[in-house]
Amino acid sequence: MPPPHPPPRGVAPAPAACPLFLLPRRSRRGLVLPAPSALSVAASHAHDALLLRRAADVADRSAGLTSPHPNFGCVIARPQFETDNAEAWVVGEGFLYAQGTPCAELLAAQEAGEHARGATAYLNLEPGDCYGDSTAVSSLVQAGITRAVVGLRHPLKHLRGKAIQSLRSEGIQVDVVGEDLHSKLFKEALKSCLTVNAPLLYRAAFRVPFSVLKYAMTADGKIAASSGHASWISGKASRGRVFQLRGRSDAVIVGGNTVRLDDPRLTARHVKGHVPVRIVMSQSLNLPEEANLWNVHDAYTIVATQRGARRDFQKKLALKGVEVVEFDMLNPRDVMSYCYDRGYLSVLWECGGNLAASAISASVIHKVYAFWAPKIIGGVNAPTPVGELGMNQMTQAIDLIDVSYEQIDRDMLMSGFIEPIPDLSPVIPSVDEIPSVDPEVSPYETNIISFYKTWDTFGAFSNFSPHPIHMPDENGDYFTWPTVEHYYQAHKFIGVDNPQAREIVQEIKLAKSPEEAARIGRTRQREFRELVQADWDSMKIDVMYRAIKCKFSTYSHLTGMLLSTAGSVLVESSPHDLFWGGGREGEGLNYLGRLLMQLRSEYLGTVQTTVEVGEPA
């Protein structure tokens, strides 16, 4: 066995090697902790606050990628006797890259290795146990962590306090800011923890996604010339910042005027990773036949409109791959409720003044980003960032809070919140019960268990869950697929005798997250229909069933979770996937829920048949 790696320069040796009289304080696990006299309480709090802010900064590296998960960051640190610089104490750190990837705590513990023993873990947010395996908690326990500092308890009711209690039951000292740590030194650290997960906190508190209004205007407050021409108001550096804002959002919203006048792409080009959905709000569907947004090669597009508007044009959009969603009365509040149902955490509004005013009046805008350019355009009829709000006196004006300013080349960026970041104990989002059919369940006493996103108790049932499966690849060799979704998307192209199809399979295999695998698979399917297996519609259910059966047989705790639902109808409550999910109003086929119930029945020995394939979606 090779000798253990030496500790980093200046890192104190493991506490067990120190004389007990120098380290008299012990945790409930019996491991020796640093003596309280080594640092004053104030200095200790200062170090804790600094490292907790670092955990929030680490978590922010994946902003926009983790949705629907929160942004998790973990920093593991051990005091060094040679320096008082807390940053130099760090022996490991990690963050959740995306849903379906290893958790922050596991990555930090792996990086710290043996140096994690006796160390403190700093967590911007209490870990969630969304996949039923407690990996976050067990990673810290097995690494030998003796203390954890937590910035925020989890905001979702069914996860709140669960991980903290689990850590304490393992003998780990857990200090929560505002509960166990009350120093004013934690004010900025707490603010960082709130800010990095503002989307989840707003969503949980207000039942709509966190919404940001962004606009660029001249020094005299115009967002375009009187003619409507607006390219470009801000400079290149500011436009680069806008790409970053898009990359942190689940969706970008514009109105019909923006499409007609600017023909935008609304992509996060030059920013790698997450690609937001583009949403166009138009009551009349008075939109051009050709537009950049109708090209769904790089990003998905949804058009929200009034029920019955231009049905012929709706069909044309559908043929281009654009999704059209009808509303009885199109307005920002209902569109945000729809985005909430789709699981979006953050939405960026890049619309004109009239739609911006309507969204502000509907109380769905929470933060503003205003880019000021040193230009004057003039014009009595030139549009302004926000239209009529019905305010007649300056005392009625909306005062932004927590305002900050940043110079970006020649431009100035001002940002501020309309609504403060909630720091509360919200309830888990409710899901309407969706009717389904299951031969094992009495139709008179039906219990519905819905799952879809990370906050659902049975989130482990999702095909995006981080459970690798060992199954054959295109060559018949066993391969460890990162998730069920990777396996499913790749099999659209496996078996097709074409070099390009094989390249697509490799691209999906290497996808860093199930979201990326799904985006690659769906995009390539739209682009190269001839490369998709000819009988894919009739075989996709069997492909998915083989994958989830392998997943549940591999992970015994998932099997136990599935069996615990006996007698209940399982519904994948995606509002937009009408094949695998239940749909927005129960119109979906819910095939993922059906397959899970089929598998449960096999485990219980009640049936031995397979689910029949319905009409292809």
Point out the residues that are catalytic: 105
Using DSSP, state whether 87 is helix, strand or coil.
Answer: helix
The residues facing 323 across adjacent strands are: 302
Token pair in block for residue 434:
């969706």
Using DSSP, state whether 175 is helix, strand or coil.
Answer: strand
- 279 class by beta-carbon count within 10 Å (0-12 exposed, 13-18 middle, 19+ buried): buried
Question: DSSP labels for 381-446?
Answer: T---SS------SGGGSPPPEEEEEEEETTEEEEEEESSPPP-S-PPPPP--------TTS-TTS-
Tell me phi and psi for residue 254, to 5 degrees: -135, 165
Check if the beta carbon of residue 96 is closer than 8 Å to that of residue 72.
Answer: yes
Determine the residue type at 247.
Answer: G
Cα 277–Cα 279–Cα 281 angle in degrees, nearest 5: 175
At a CB cut-off of 8 Å and minimum separation 6, what does 40 contact?
none
Token pair in block for residue 555:
């992970």
Token pair in block for residue 360:
């502000």
- Nearest of 192, 215, 455 to residue 348 by alpha carbon: 215
Q: How far is CA 392 from CA 45, 388, 395, in A?
A: 49, 10, 9
Name the strand (E) or helix (H) holding 598. helix 591-604
Token pair in block for residue 335:
């569109």
Distance between CA 500 and CA 488 in Å, rounded?
18
- 175 class by beta-carbon count within 10 Å (0-12 exposed, 13-18 middle, 19+ buried): middle
Token pair in block for residue 412:
């100035």
Distance between CA 302 and CA 317 in Å, rounded?
10
Using DSSP, state whether 142 is helix, strand or coil.
Answer: helix
Rg (CA), the chain: 26
**To the nearest 5 percent, what fractions of the chain are helix, strand and coil?**
35, 15, 50
DSSP state of 127: P
At a CB cut-off of 8 Å and minimum separation 6, what does 577 contact?
583, 588
